[in-house]
Structure 1
Amino acid sequence: MAHHANRLALAALITCGVAASAWADPASSASSASSTASQSVGSISGSIQRSSNSSSGNTVAEGDYRIIEVADVAEQPGTMRMKLQAVKDIGADGEFYLYVPHQVVEQGRLAAGAVVTARNKPYGMEFAHAKTLKGFFMALKDDWYRELQTRPVSL
């Protein structure tokens, strides 16, 4: 029951964030608001990839990471791959790739040399600017991500 309530709270939080961005620009439409939400949220399995064959899979340790490089992903138009490396040495697990929409990189002014913070949340991993702690991307646990997908409703 609590798990379901948490999912509803997360959905409401994302909806409020989308609504706030839509209200900020009167010319915005519902479709652009929906597009904004999908650009700042992804699934862990689709967004995080280890740079080595690590046993930790798609998990990431909390902490600060320096962006080593940012590149287009040729096989996924509109997607950027950021190579992140832990600021503090945490061993082989301190390096991974984060796949995000191009607009997230552009709007977040993310570039090589910048430092971002990864924070564990009950529903996934939040990525934020290290200095401001302003979030720019949420990698949701796969089950949470599936729950937030829009589905057509027939009447």
Structure 2
Amino acid sequence: MSLFPRHLIAFALLFGVAALPVHAASTAASSASDSASSAVGSLSTSIGKSSNSSSPGHDVADGDYRVIDIAEAADRPGLVRLTLQGVTVAENTEFALYLPRLTFEQAQLATGQQVRTRQRAYGIEFARTDAHAPFFLVLHDEWYRELASHPVTL
């Protein structure tokens, strides 16, 4: 056996070992991105008009809302539809909030519970009134598009 194939084998092994940290880092970044995306949604896909509301659906005022209905989003697999009704805002104010199932389960939301909304520069923050940390962020569509992962080739 000549030396040439041994050098190729050594080079291949060295290259393969050197690529492992890159692959591990990209996997970790992907996992972080996936878990963050379950707690973030876009305005156009996460906020909807309630069937009882005459408002366009995207104008959510700061304040407290009561969860009056929880249902599977039949036309959106993997999402749960919450119907929220104003408590500290006009009582006839209603809108639908679409959450990924995992986010809904982690937030431990139930009918009758209250949710607080706060407008932010990037969108709307949703938190249970009995908790300080938000459970879901609805980003303005322009901000949300900036979060998309894009493959990088070296």
Offset at residue 65 of structure 1 (A): 0.4
Please list every run of at least 4 consecutive aligned residues from structure 1 whose deviation after the TM superposition is greater than 4 angstroms: none
1:44-55 aligned at under 5 Å gives the runs: 44-51=43-50, 52-55=53-56
- Larger radius of gyration, structure 1 or 2? 2
Aligned 8 A contact 1:117 1:133 in 2: no
Q: In the alignment, does 2:78 pair up with 1:83?
A: no
- TM-score, normalised to structure 2's length? 0.75
- 1:58 match: 58
- Rounded to whole Å, the distance in 2 between the matches of 1:54 and 1:108 is 26
Instruction: State the percentage of identical aligned residues.
Output: 49
Offset at residue 145 of structure 1 (A): 0.3
**What is the root-mean-square deviation of aligned Cα atoms in Å?**
1.8
Amino acid at match of 1:63: G
Aligned 8 A contact 2:63 2:89 in 1: no
Aligned 8 A contact 1:65 1:117 in 2: yes
Offset at residue 30 of structure 1 (A): 4.7
Aligned 8 A contact 2:67 2:83 in 1: yes
- Rounded to whole Å, the distance in 2 between the matches of 1:133 and 1:85 is 20
SS in 2 for 1:49: strand
- 1:72 match: 72
- Distance 1:146-1:89 versus aligned 2 partners, 3 A rule: closer
